[in-house]
Amino acid sequence: MLLAALLPLLLFVFPLWKITLEAPQYPTPLGMYIHINDFTDANPHDIKNINLMNHYVGMKYIPDAIPEFKIFPIGIAITTFIGLLVFWKGNHRWYLYWFLLMVAVSTAGLIDFYIWEYQYGHDLDPKAIMKFTNPDGSVMGFQPPFFGSKDILNFRAHSYPQLGAYSLGLGIALALVAYWLGKKETTSKKLFS
Amino acid sequence: MKSKFFYLLTTLGIFLTLYSCGNSQQNNGALSSNAADRVYVAPGEHDDYYAFISGGFSGQLSVYGLPSGRLFKVIPVFSQDAEKAYGYNEETKPMLNTSHGFIPWDDSHHPDISQTNGELDGRWVFINGNNTPRIAKIDLSVFETTEIIEIPNSAGNHSSAFVTENTEYVVAGTRFSVPVPQRDMPISEYKGNFKGALTFISVEPEHGHMDIAFQLMMPGFDYDLSHPGRGKSHGWFFFSTYNSEEASTLMEVNASQNDKDFIAAVNWKAIEEYVKNGGGTMMPANYAHNVYDEGTHMATSTMKKEVRVVNPSEVPGAVFLLPTPKSPHGCDVDPSGEYIVGAGKLSADLTVHSFTKMLDAIENEKYEGEAYGIPILSFEDVRAGTVSQPGLGPLHTEFDGQGNAYTTFFISSEVVKWKLGTWEVLDRQPCYYSVGHLMIPGGNSRKPFGQYVVAMNKITKDRYLPTGPEVTQSAQLYDISGDKMELLLDFPTVGEPHYAAGIAADIVKQRSKKIFELQNNNHPYGIKSDADVRVERDGKDVHVYMSMIRSHFNPDNIEGIRVGDRVYFHVTNLEQDYDVPHGISMIGANTSELLIMPGQTETFVWEPKQPGVWPFYCTDFCSALHQEMQGYVRVSPADNSPDLRWSLGE
């Protein structure tokens, strides 16, 4: 359970997510890492160059900071603190509660990520240089994939979790394992007592 | 009957010719069937070698790939280049400054790549300007000329620009001897009065900055070519000479009278020591030193006012003369440093001197005479061997690192492979036509890459589609990895392919810069973002601090410019993406376009001559909206103009 509580802290070291854009003119693809508190370039100046590409279709610049960068670290700090408290004081039942809390928090984070992506891909400048429509006549959006790969005009976009997200996931999973082990232990104790 | 017999003979002759063709494919220059495969570099693949081929009278240096022979870039060195604004924009004009003022051209001859421990390190290429003596340095992280130093007391700077094995010095020898210092005197008093300056330019190890360490004032011969010692002979430099007759007219006859001229062996380490102890004298001079700074993206030209000269007769053990038959041209040192090959261009033989025998002769003071106080060694005491009758008109020799040497023959138009030590001829291949230099990548180092030799031909006649009286000169690629040389490819060149230097691509390509970091741009008129965009008037000078990024200029509307103004467009490319340069040109500007790399600032001057609204536009197809990358400048009469204002998107 200690490991489960501490693993999410790796989010402060490793990126959470990565979006990669491939195109013929980019033999080295453009890429952006999403950290818990920052966006960073995969290669120098990538975000600037993504912005330059995207301005043709009227997409907003990727912001230097979003409110989530303040909220998420606090959230992880709090849940880690709770996790440590649970490890110190709680029994396996509490492990399960922490697990459920973390699942809820992560789901909220993913929903937020999806909403941001949707807005980023659809909130287009009406004076956009190039306007594209879907076959049904609606305005084409440029939302990057939430998870997986997708073609967007001349780009192929990939969106996959990174080591930070895996650490978080593993931490959450370990809490569940700790719960099962704890439960087993108590059950066997009960049996033998 | 007679005619029938003739017919038979002819048929037999043709048959024999065909038969011999089939059998001795390599001897008659026919292509082996898979030559195309061996030079084919598939789309998207990279060549194995860079070849830096000088442009001779074009004044530039071209960059080719080997084995494909594809041209990648022409690096402007000594000549203005409107394509890249070199010598046209305000930043690079100082690069072409000399003691004679701005000179837009020179004759670029011998490129040589910097070395560390006798091996090519791929940091810089040095090359000589022949006509108005200069040495340039090209930085291989940017493939641009970043420094040019003028050589005082020199004329026809030909035995240049060769580097020592740790790039301690780049050496520039004068071909024409001249009065030193220059003065008004009768030409007929040449003998004994004219001097030949051999200039040693120190190269600062980190940034490669050049500085003339000393000039050795030699007798008034013509110093034709030179090469450094290496390995055991490191510390020495060898110069071929002709006109030891010291003639000054009808040179083709009068400079060809002596049976032997000399190879001058210069112990530069001894002179370096002499200079370190205060030897030599500072002599008044006037020469330009032009340096391009990557941080400010600008060149500055400084006039230097003195130079240290050394009289060879005052430094014992510093210079010796090695008699060498018939006006030697090439002076080439093998990878071990033992053999010095003198190609007596009027002799049918090649003379090879031995460094070991030379040292022995010096130690035992076996002198045959002296010239102006410089000891002459005896020919037989220093000669290692002679390659007997290999061809006509030997010029230059390079080495494959496997104990073989390759020499070009101008008159018999061929490359001849021969063996060091036994001096036997192993193979010969024709050149089309009249070959000058040849180049084996690394062939002037301790470690040649002995896979290919490139022959550079002065004449092509019928080899390519005709283009009027002026036809291309060309290079030819031979595979030398086997026992016999095999001709693989002809390719046309820019200007005269005088000489070349080649290097394995891997050493150079990972150091090649992709962009200039905008945050490191220290150009005094550069800007880092659109917030700094502005237009300022200072009397009749107007400075436009302009930015460019896909796909607009900022500002793109300017008003308040007056007839008679000097408008400086200082344009910064705000891009930070690989291979996204932008260009700019203004209608009626008496200069070239600018071609500006990401993160770089360049400047052109426009002097509007009549009122109106005048457009400017991006000259390099940069993006999908390149055609929209344009702007206007309103020019008003000098006495009736609106206030200066500028805008983008208003």
Domain span including residue A54 = 2-192
pTM for the whole structure: 0.92
H or E stretch covering B561: strand B557-562
The three-point CA angle B24-B25-B28 to 5° equals: 90
Classified as helix, coil or strand, B187 is helix
- Asked if residue B136 has a cis previous peptide bond (ω within 30° of 0), the answer is no
**What single-letter DSSP state applies at residue B644?**
P
Q: What is the mean pLDDT of residues B133-146?
A: 98
Any chain B CB within 8 A of the CB of A44? yes
What is the pLDDT, as a whole number, of residue B24? 42
Q: Give the closest-approach CA distance of A52 to chain B in angstroms.
A: 7
Any chain B CB within 8 A of the CB of A48? yes
- CA dist B169 and B153 (Å) reads 18
Q: Could you identify the residue written with the tokens 């018939």? A: B326
Q: Give per-residue pLDDT as tens, B427-472.
A: 999 999 999 999 999 999 999 999 999 999 999 999 999 999 999 9
Asked whether the beta carbons of B122 and B143 are under 8 A apart, the reply is no
Which residues is A19 bridged to in the sheet?
A: A32, A159
- Length of chain B as a residue count: 650
Q: Which of A49, A129, A130 sits opposite B577 (nearest CB)?
A: A49
pLDDT beyond 50 at B501: yes
C-alpha pair distances (Å), B345 with each of B26, B129, B215, B342:
26, 23, 27, 9
Any chain A CB within 8 A of the CB of B577? yes
Residue A188: pLDDT band (50, 70, 90) is: confident
- Mean pLDDT (chain B) is 94
Asked whether the beta carbons of A39 and A135 are under 8 A apart, the reply is no
Any chain A CB within 8 A of the CB of B602? no
Asked whether the beta carbons of B237 and B228 are under 8 A apart, the reply is yes
Nearest to B54 by CA among B513, B449, B507, B437: B437
Q: Which of B515, B550, B578 sits opposite A52 (nearest CB)?
A: B550
The beta-strand segments (E) located in B207-316 are 210-218, 222-228, 236-242, 260-267, 281-293, 298-310
- CA dist B126 and B228 (Å) reads 14
Domains and CATH numbers, chain B: 50-509 (2.130.10.10), 523-647 (2.60.40.420)
B96, HSE (Cβ side, Cα atoms, 13 Å):
23
What is the pLDDT, as a whole number, of residue A139? 87
Q: Give per-residue pLDDT as tens, B188-245.
A: 999 999 999 999 999 999 999 999 999 999 999 999 999 999 999 999 999 999 999 9
Q: Give per-residue pLDDT as tens, B58-95.
A: 999 999 999 999 999 999 999 999 999 999 999 999 99
H or E stretch covering B631: strand B630-636
Which residues is B328 bridged to in the sheet?
A: B344
Tell if the CB–CB gap between A56 and B577 is shorter than 8 Å: no
Chain A residues close to B549, C-beta within 8 Å: 52
Q: Could you identify the residue written with the tokens 């300022």? A: B536
Asked whether the beta carbons of A96 and A173 are under 8 A apart, the reply is no
Treating both helix axes as pointing N-terminal to C-terminal, what angle do A68-89 and A92-122 enclose, rounded to 10 degrees? 170
What is the pLDDT, as a whole number, of residue A191? 66
B323: Cα separation from own chain's centroid: 29
pLDDT beyond 50 at B187: yes
- Mean pLDDT (chain A) is 91
Any chain A CB within 8 A of the CB of B286? no
Q: Which of A48, A129, A130 sits opposite B576 (nearest CB)?
A: A48
What is the pLDDT, as a whole number, of residue B345? 86
Contact residues for A50 (Cβ-Cβ < 8 A; gap 6+): A21, A30, A32, A62
**Tokens (6 digits) for A58:** 């009227």
Residue A9: pLDDT band (50, 70, 90) is: very high
- CA dist B579 and A163 (Å) reads 32
DSSP B14-47: HHHHHHHHHH-TTTTTPPPTTHHHHH---TT---
Q: Nearest-CA residue of chain A relative to B576?
A: A45
- For strands B474-479 and B394-399, give the pairing: unpaired
Residues 549-568 on B with a CB inside 8 Å of A are 549-550
pLDDT beyond 50 at B8: no
What is the pLDDT, as a whole number, of residue B6? 47
Three-state DSSP string of A39-106 = EEECCCCHHHHHHHHHHHHCCCCCCCCCCHHHHHHHHHHHHHHHHHHHHHHCCHHHHHHHHHHHHHHH
Which residues is B371 bridged to in the sheet?
A: B374
C-alpha pair distances (Å), B639 with each of B386, B561, B611:
81, 11, 11
Residues 13-32 on A with a CB inside 8 Å of B are 28
Q: Give per-residue pLDDT as tens, B163-179.
A: 999 999 999 999 999 99
Q: Which candidate in A52, A57, A125 is best for mutational testing of the B interface (most B CBs within 10 A)?
A: A52
**What single-letter DSSP state applies at residue A111?**
H
Chain A residues close to B624, C-beta within 8 Å: 56, 130
At B578, give phi and psi (nearest 5°). Answer: -65, 135
Q: Nearest-CA residue of chain A relative to B599?
A: A45
Tell if the CB–CB gap between B625 and A129 is shorter than 8 Å: yes
The three-point CA angle B595-B601-B607 to 5° equals: 75
C-alpha pair distances (Å), B79 with each of A113, B76, B396, B518, B637:
57, 6, 26, 28, 37
**Tokens (6 digits) for B212:** 């003339």
Q: Which candidate in A48, A130, A154 is best for mutational testing of the B interface (most B CBs within 10 A)?
A: A48
What is the pLDDT, as a whole number, of residue A193? 53
Asked whether the beta carbons of B276 and B72 are under 8 A apart, the reply is no
Any chain A CB within 8 A of the CB of B513? no
- CA dist B128 and B135 (Å) reads 5
Tell if the CB–CB gap between B549 and A129 is shorter than 8 Å: no
Q: Give the closest-approach CA distance of B568 to chain A in angstroms.
A: 28
Nearest to B455 by CA among B400, B503, B398, B388: B398
Query: Terminal CA-to-CA distance of chain A, rounded, Å?
Result: 25
- CA dist B612 and B588 (Å) reads 12
Neighbours of B37 (CB within 10 A): 9
Any chain B CB within 8 A of the CB of A56? yes
Q: How many domains does chain A have?
A: 1
The beta-strand segments (E) located in A95-185 are 148-152, 155-161
Q: What is the mean pLDDT of residues B565-581?
A: 97
Tell if the CB–CB gap between A49 and B549 is shorter than 8 Å: no
Contact residues for A91 (Cβ-Cβ < 8 A; gap 6+): A182, A186
Q: Give the closest-approach CA distance of B536 to chain A in angstroms.
A: 29
Q: Give the closest-approach CA distance of A131 to chain B in angstroms.
A: 14
Neighbours of B423 (CB within 10 A): 17
B502, HSE (Cβ side, Cα atoms, 13 Å):
31
Q: Which candidate in B510, B528, B529, B576 is best for mutational testing of the A interface (most A CBs within 10 A)?
A: B576
Any chain A CB within 8 A of the CB of B45? no
pLDDT beyond 90 at B531: yes
Candidate from B97-106, B169-178, B251-260 with smallest mean pLDDT: B251-260
ipTM (interface pTM):
0.87
Neighbours of B65 (CB within 10 A): 18
Chain A residues close to B529, C-beta within 8 Å: none
pLDDT beyond 90 at B373: yes
Q: Which candidate in A25, A43, A45, A129 is best for mutational testing of the B interface (most B CBs within 10 A)?
A: A45
Q: What is the mean pLDDT of residues B531-544?
A: 98
**Percent of chain B's residues with pLDDT above 70:** 95
Q: What is the mean pLDDT of residues B10-17?
A: 44
- Count A/B contacts: CB-CB distance under 8 Å: 17
- CA dist B352 and B385 (Å) reads 5
Any chain B CB within 8 A of the CB of A45? yes
- CA dist B345 and B327 (Å) reads 6
- CA dist B211 and B208 (Å) reads 10
Any chain A CB within 8 A of the CB of B259? no
Q: Which of B549, B576, B624 sits opposite A45 (nearest CB)?
A: B576
Which residues is B289 bridged to in the sheet?
A: B149, B302
Q: Which of B577, B624, B625 sits opposite A45 (nearest CB)?
A: B577
pLDDT beyond 70 at B3: no
Tell if the CB–CB gap between B576 and A49 is shorter than 8 Å: yes
Any chain A CB within 8 A of the CB of B528? no
What is the pLDDT, as a whole number, of residue B407? 97
Cβ-in-10-Å burial (0-12, 13-18, 19+) of A70 comes to: exposed
pLDDT beyond 80 at A189: no
Chain B residues close to A45, C-beta within 8 Å: 515, 576-577
- CA dist B529 and B547 (Å) reads 8
- CA dist B491 and A20 (Å) reads 41
Q: What is the mean pLDDT of residues A50-79?
A: 91
pLDDT beyond 70 at A131: yes
What is the pLDDT, as a whole number, of residue B9? 45
**Tokens (6 digits) for A27:** 């033999």
